[in-house]
């Protein structure tokens, strides 16, 4: 059986004319990894487990000699954990694990997925990769235990001693205590605001885009201390977080094991901060432009809104009342529906559109939007615009709701009468169609009702299709605004910068290639693909296309089923980096208290 020896690249290419010994380490369930090479004449120290002599090079020799016959050398570039470099067998996840696990909704599919028979036996490779990720930690431990075998000069860094001294000063404890209580106070306020916006009797966050944006910022503020504690490897916090409950606890004394599980929190934390800064930057730019150009924008917006939400609707309704495209419609029903809708249009125009879209009102609105963007970010300004559009287009929803109900009732009545003529009856209790015998009087009554419904169908269908198209355009506009908000709030900017600067920080798996004309292998990191960074947006676009731009949408329209804007599905991107349930404030306070210097923590515990 072939055994593998993992060899750092910077040691593999180091020549030594006097001979050398490669010192390796092998933990339980892993292959040997070379830590360092020492001169052969100076290596007289007996090595204890887990260290061993991996290979020997004779004086003047160019080849390494191994104790076993079948040995495959696998070279690798030693990852630096302080620079967030590491190997991972699976692509790193930029979203929370509980937000990407969809197999739990499939019932028995999850049990089949977790069955051990369908897993690859890669435990040895996984342990070896974990060993490689901790290369410099094991190297430092080896140099500490065997200083006589150290070949590199240790660098003295005085700033570490100064920082360690500063951490023990009273001034540092006072600063930490002050910041701790300020953070807890802010988290308490944010937690309370989020609870009010998600009150089950009146969930404003599910209705208003502005309320949803405020709720998002409050949840992010409450999650910042938790992310800080997880980044600093606080074990108690991991126990309270659901996604760490099934993981084995780290080995004693190991502070940087399993980096691929903890570094995504680092990426998500700084990605959120970067996005907040960019939100403010975009807000300053867009808000300044809106403030400067408000005089020219107000007339344009007024004309556009008046045409789209008033003149166009009147024109469509009037054309429907005058037999459009030469199709003869029912005069009485057409006159009734057109008069009803024209009255609603006039009512909405007089009480909503004209007061809210006049140049004076638009000037005030743009002033509020620009100030909001400048002070708290562009996402809040776009949220205000989304809510404003929802308000002024409410009558389109009313039109669609009225005509959809009318069309649905008529379609269901015609289907029931059609079953009646075929000698069938719909069984609502068992959700099926059964055979049934009807009397002649029932058949005649059904015929008398069915014929007028058939003749009224073209009229209802013309109004239904027209207002459904208008409703779809309104939904598309709202989706566009919400998608812009999602891009501002969850664009993987920090991950993209890491991917461009150093692809080793975002591993997407490993690959083995041959080197030295087939004499050894090269272990490389596959950088995370750009498509996986935007996987949430791809899924969201697919869901939007399936719900509003597909054959399924056409079937829903023809079947009379209502088409609504699913806000929770649109907002799933915003909450992909946040837990479902935030940690309680008193738990955050207790965990942050433990991070303070010991004397202060002891004093707080006593009081």
Distance from C-alpha of 310 to C-alpha of 323, rounded to nearest angstrom: 21
Closest CA to 489 of 218, 194, 278, 265: 278
Please say if the pLDDT value at position 268 is more than 70: yes
CA dihedral 177, 179, 185, 189 (to 10 degrees): -160
Please report whether residue 464 resides in a domain.
no
Does 171 share its domain with 87? no
Most confident of 26-35, 124-133, 341-350: 341-350
Does 131 share its domain with 210? no
Please report whether residue 362 resides in a domain.
no
pLDDT of amino acid 229: 82
Does 143 share its domain with 178? no
What's the domain count of the chain? 2
Does 99 share its domain with 139? yes
pLDDT tier, 607 (very low <50, low <70, confident <90, very high otherwise)? very low
pLDDT of amino acid 470: 94
Please say if the pLDDT value at position 309 is more than 80: yes
pLDDT of amino acid 452: 87
Closest CA to 260 of 97, 19, 67, 456: 97
Does 142 share its domain with 61? yes
Does 132 share its domain with 194? no
- The secondary structure of 530-568, three-state, reads HHHHCHHHHHHHHHHHHHHCCHHHHHHHHCCCCCCCCHH
Angle between helices 394-421 and 312-321 (to 10 degrees): 30
Please report whether residue 265 resides in a domain.
no
Does 198 share its domain with 116? no
Last residue of a domain, one of 95, 126, 151: 151
Is residue 251 helix, strand or coil? coil
Please report whether residue 21 resides in a domain.
yes
Is residue 581 helix, strand or coil? coil
Last residue of a domain, one of 105, 120, 151: 151
Please report whether residue 87 resides in a domain.
yes
Does 71 share its domain with 185? no
Lowest mean pLDDT among 73-87, 454-468, 572-586, 589-603: 589-603
Distance from C-alpha of 489 to C-alpha of 523, rounded to nearest angstrom: 36
Count Cβ atoms within 10 A of the Cβ of residue 268 and give its class: 0-12 exposed, 13-18 middle, 19 or more buried.
buried
Does 143 share its domain with 177? no
Last residue of a domain, one of 94, 120, 151: 151
Closest CA to 75 of 84, 64, 59: 64
Does 135 share its domain with 236? no
Please say if the pLDDT value at position 103 is more than 50: no
Does 93 share its domain with 223? no
Q: Which residues pair with 71 in a beta bridge?
A: 3
In the numeric block, which tokens belong to residue 520?
């050894």
pLDDT digits (tens, 9 = 90+) for 21-43: 888 898 888 889 998 888 876 55
pLDDT digits (tens, 9 = 90+) for 551-579: 888 898 988 898 888 777 777 777 878 88
Does 141 share its domain with 201? no
Domain that holds residue 197: 166-247+594-606
Please report whether residue 468 resides in a domain.
no
Closest CA to 491 of 284, 286, 268, 283: 268
Report CA torsion sign: 503, 504, 507, 513.
positive
Neighbours of 574 (CB within 10 A): 22
Q: Which residues pair with 33 in a beta bridge?
A: 6, 25
pLDDT digits (tens, 9 = 90+) for 367-404: 999 999 999 999 999 999 999 999 999 999 999 999 99
Please report whether residue 527 resides in a domain.
no
300 phi, psi to nearest 5 deg: -65, -45
pTM of the full structure: 0.80
End-to-end CA distance of the chain: 63
Please report whether residue 136 resides in a domain.
yes
Distance from C-alpha of 164 to C-alpha of 168, rounded to nearest angstrom: 7
Distance from C-alpha of 495 to C-alpha of 510, rounded to nearest angstrom: 19
The answer to whether residues 273 and 95 touch, using CB atoms and an 8 Å cutoff, is: no
């Amino acid at each position: 059986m072939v055994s593998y020896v993992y060899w750092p690249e910077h040691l593999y290419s180091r020549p030594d004319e006097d001979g050398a010994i490669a010192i390796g380490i092998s933990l339980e369930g892993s292959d040997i990894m070379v830590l360092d090479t020492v001169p052969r004449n100076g290596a007289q120290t007996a090595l204890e487990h887990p260290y061993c002599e991996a290979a020997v090079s004779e004086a003047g020799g160019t080849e390494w000699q191994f104790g076993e016959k079948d040995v495959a050398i696998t070279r690798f570039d030693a990852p630096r954990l302080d620079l967030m470099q590491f190997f991972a067998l699976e692509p790193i996840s930029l979203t929370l694990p509980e937000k990407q696990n969809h197999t739990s909704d499939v019932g028995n599919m999850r049990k089949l997925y977790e069955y051990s028979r369908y897993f690859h036996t890669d435990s040895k490779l996984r342990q070896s990769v974990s060993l490689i990720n901790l290369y410099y930690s094991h190297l430092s431990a080896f140099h500490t235990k065997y200083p006589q075998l150290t070949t590199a000069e240790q660098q003295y860094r005085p700033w570490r001693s100064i920082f360690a001294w500063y951490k023990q000063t009273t001034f540092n404890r006072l600063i930490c205590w002050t910041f701790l209580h300020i953070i807890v106070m802010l988290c308490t306020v944010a937690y309370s605001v989020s609870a009010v916006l998600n009150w089950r009797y009146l969930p404003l966050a599910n209705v208003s885009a502005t309320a949803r944006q405020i709720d998002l910022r409050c949840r992010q503020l409450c999650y910042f201390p938790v992310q800080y504690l997880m980044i600093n490897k606080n074990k108690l916090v991991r126990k309270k977080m659901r996604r760490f409950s099934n993981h084995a606890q780290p080995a004693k004394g190991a502070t940087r094991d399993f980096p691929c599980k903890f570094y995504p929190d680092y990426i998500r934390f700084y990605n959120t901060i970067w996005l907040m800064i960019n939100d403010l930057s975009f807000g300053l730019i867009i808000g300044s432009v809106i403030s400067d150009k408000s005089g020219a924008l107000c007339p344009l917006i007024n004309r556009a809104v008046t045409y789209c939400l008033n003149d166009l609707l009147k024109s469509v309704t009037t054309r429907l009342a005058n037999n459009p495209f030469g199709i003869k419609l029912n005069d009485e029903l057409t006159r009734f529906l057109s008069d009803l809708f024209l009255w609603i249009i006039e009512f909405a125009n007089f009480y909503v559109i004209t007061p809210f879209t006049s140049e004076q009102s638009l000037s005030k609105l743009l002033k509020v939007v620009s100030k909001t963007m400048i002070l708290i970010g562009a996402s809040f300004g776009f949220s205000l615009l989304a809510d404003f559009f929802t308000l002024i287009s409410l009558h389109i929803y009313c039109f669609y709701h009225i005509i959809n109900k009318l069309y649905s009732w008529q379609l269901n009545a015609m289907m029931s009468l059609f079953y009646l003529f075929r000698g069938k009856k719909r069984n609502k209790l068992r959700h099926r169609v059964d055979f049934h015998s009807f009397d002649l009087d029932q058949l005649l009554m059904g015929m008398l009702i069915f014929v007028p419904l058939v003749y009224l169908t073209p009229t209802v269908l013309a109004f239904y299709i027209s207002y459904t198209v208008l409703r779809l355009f309104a939904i598309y506009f709202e989706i566009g605004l919400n998608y812009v908000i999602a891009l501002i709030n969850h664009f993987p900017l920090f991950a993209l910068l890491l991917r461009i600067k150093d692809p080793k920080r975002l591993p997407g798996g490993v690959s083995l290639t041959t080197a030295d004309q087939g004499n050894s292998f090269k272990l490389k990191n596959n950088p995370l693909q750009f498509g996986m960074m935007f996987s949430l947006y791809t899924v969201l676009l697919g869901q939007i296309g399936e719900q509003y731009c597909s054959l399924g949408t056409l079937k829903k329209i023809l079947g009379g089923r209502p088409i609504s804007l699913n806000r929770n599905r649109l907002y799933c991107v915003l909450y992909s980096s946040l837990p479902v349930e935030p940690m309680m404030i008193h738990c955050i306070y207790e965990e942050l208290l433990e991070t303070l210097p010991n004397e202060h923590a002891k004093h707080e515990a006593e009081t």
